Amino acid sequence: MSTLSYVIPSGSFERKEVQLGQLTRTVVITGSYEKVPKNYSVKGFLVGDEVDGKATPVGLLGFLSAIKKGLERSTDIIFFIF
């Protein structure tokens, strides 16, 4: 699945905060989608390489550590259920 981050185009929407009574919500501005160029590099493929203004596909290290990070961040609910 992480290989799709190299194929699928990256983009972003502009957002604004809207006050609804006492709640503040962040909403997407319609028609504000813009494509973001990707940063392809050997370093980015191995360990991830963030560059300002460019999208970074998932690196090999990020792919391998995703399950461990996901389990660490959700330990409360995992142990609550089991």
pLDDT digits (tens, 9 = 90+) for 49-70: 778 888 888 888 888 888 899 9
Q: Is 25 helix (H, G, I), strand (E, B) or coil?
A: strand
The residue type of 61 is L
User: For the chain, how big is the Rg over CA atoms in Å?
Assistant: 17
The domains of the chain are located at 4-81
Per-residue pLDDT of the chain (82 residues; tens, 9 = 90+): 778 888 899 999 999 999 989 999 999 999 999 999 988 888 878 887 778 888 888 888 888 888 899 999 998 888 888 7
pTM over 0.85, yes/no: no
Give pLDDT, residue 48.
77
